[in-house]
Structure 1
Amino acid sequence: MTQTASSPDLEGFVRPGKGAGLVDVFNRRYLLSLLVRKEVQVRYRGSALGWLWSYVKPVTQFLVFFIALGVFLQLNNSIPNYPIYLFSGLVVINLFSEAFSNGTKSLVDNAPLIKKIYLPRELFPVSSTLVALVNFLPQVIVLGTVCLFVGWTPSLVQLAGVLLGIVILVVLATGLSMLFGSINVSFRDAQNFVELIVLVATWASPVLYRWTMVAEILPDWLMVLYQVNPLTAAVELLHAGFWYPTTDGSAPLPPNLLTFGVIALVISLAMLAFGQFVFRKLERRFAQDL
């Protein structure tokens, strides 16, 4: 009588390379923290100024735009506390630009690790976003400190708006990083395209100018599209939290700002879902194309 071999018990095992996307990133928070810590530590290793470079770029950027627009074009006279208005918008765009740009290149930059072992590949764009957030927080502290010297007294609603704006940026940047990062593995033109988007983003949202200037030119339906742009909503929410309380209400905020902020968050979440979808579709070719 022959004895048939029993099939092995595979309960509890997961097929290699099969994961749950961003859920796996959450489940492997320790790996994520290691990646973020590594990126933060090596960024300025061997640099004489070290962490001060995190301030050199935004300060230089601020001075260039303030002299060109605030002084030469005299926006400093037409927009109250224009330096605060300008800097609160620039920190938003810098967070988005750094997270989006570095997240797009994160898979290619970590090619040796991806080709050797399996781990949730979403870890890399997510960690790039978190590193950008780490660099963003000191700039916000500097901004808040300056605002205190000019009579900053924000309400709880305004502070909640600041948090909403940051969440919009983080979600949007993560979704776009996964989308363009996965495409960039096979087509390196993606990172060049991202550089163009980042360049346009500074001017496509009210960082350097007031929303009223746009409203005077655009028709109503196009103005609505402009306001639901997640970057526009995030910039205006930070303006409402930092700049507006220093103006004594002398400058109007965009109407229905909170509503547009919620819509922008929904759009950002949709972009995150779409980015995750494309990422999962292209993920099987990462090791081969890298």
Structure 2
Amino acid sequence: MKRLEIFSKKNWLLLKAMVSTDFKLRYKESVLGYLWSVLKPLMLFAIMYVVFVRFMRFGADVPHFAVALLLGIILWNLFNETTTGGMLSIVGHGDLLRKIHFSKYVVVVASSMSALINFGFNFIVVIVFALINGVKPAWSNLLILPIVFELYLLALGISFFLSALYVDLRDLNPIWEVVTQAGFYATPIIYPISMISSRAGNNGPIFAKLDLMLNPMAQIVQDARHVLISPANPTLWGWTSNFFVACWPVVFSLLIFLLGLKFFTVKSKYFAELV
């Protein structure tokens, strides 16, 4: 059977070269270099922690909420870096697309892999911080791997949509900045999901469940906090006995990936003419 082009040796070699080059050039001119990949989320965490945890007392009823806050920030950064970098990737490699014939998806995947490497460095910091904070390691912590994979598929699927649209619609960049900013505050990152339940009146639990059902990032953040930090962080599958309802955010993320890849494949035929 003929091997699919997506798995061809040329694509893998090109992907490896692009990831390596992008990662080396990202902080080439900065004094601290690769340390910025860790320092940026830590500085954001420090600000959020002082304002929302220390002064506004968000998450006072949640065990190890400081760790949960840091984890939420790096998960969101992975989503934001993947989608934003992916959106700009095709236009940014216009010369390469016009000179070499290869599968265009490689450009978007290479951009996402750079974001994934940054996440790996940040995740090590989270683990160290969690241990210092008294979080006890357990075998259930390994469930974080499929959760991160779900996040990666969701972000990559959106990247395929955005990168294909950005070729024709350059106004998409500032629009997406506003969308991600709104999404950050709509996702329980700087506040626990229990705050929605307790401060939204009698309909609070319903609003919390809807947030987890309709916002895949909310489900991902809560599941990650549940398996990595404390079972006290509620999840959608802990709030409902309906299997289809509990699995919907995961199915939705998979659908976004598949539809994004299909949309990108159709539009990629015309990239070399437009970029």
TM-score (norm 2): 0.88
Write out aligned runs for 1:1-290 (5 A): 23-24=6-7, 28-75=11-58, 77-160=60-143, 162-216=144-198, 217=200, 218=203, 222-228=207-213, 229-244=215-230, 251-257=232-238, 262-290=247-275
CA change 1:220–1:279 in 2 (3 A) is same
CA distance in 1: counterparts of 2:227 and 2:235, whole angstroms: 13
CA change 1:121–1:257 in 2 (3 A) is farther
Per-residue deviation at 1:80?
A: 3.2
Per-residue deviation at 1:101?
A: 0.5
CA distance in 2: counterparts of 1:26 and 1:271, whole angstroms: 27
SS across alignment from 1:84 = helix
CA change 1:24–1:121 in 2 (3 A) is farther
SS across alignment from 2:167 = helix
- Structure of higher CA gyration radius: 1
SS across alignment from 1:280 = helix
* RMSD, aligned CA: 2.3
Paired letter, 1:285:
Y
CA distance in 2: counterparts of 1:119 and 1:192, whole angstroms: 29
CA change 1:219–1:25 in 2 (3 A) is farther
Paired letter, 1:49:
L
Identity of aligned residues (%): 25
Please, which runs of 5 or more residues in structure 1 have no aligned partner? 1-11, 13-18
CA change 1:143–1:47 in 2 (3 A) is same
Please, which runs of 5 or more residues in structure 2 have no aligned partner? none
Corresponding residue for 1:16?
A: none
Tell whether the 8 Å contact from 1:99 to 1:177 is kept in structure 2 after alignment: yes
Question: Which sits farther off after the overlay, 65-74 or 176-185?
Answer: 65-74
Tell whether the 8 Å contact from 2:209 to 2:236 is kept in structure 1 after alignment: no
SS across alignment from 1:209 = coil
CA distance in 1: counterparts of 2:160 and 2:9, whole angstroms: 16
CA distance in 1: counterparts of 2:248 and 2:128, whole angstroms: 30
Per-residue deviation at 1:141?
A: 0.7
CA change 1:67–1:99 in 2 (3 A) is same
Question: Which sits farther off after the overlay, 121-130 or 73-82?
Answer: 73-82
Matched residue pairs, number?
A: 265
Per-residue deviation at 1:131?
A: 0.7
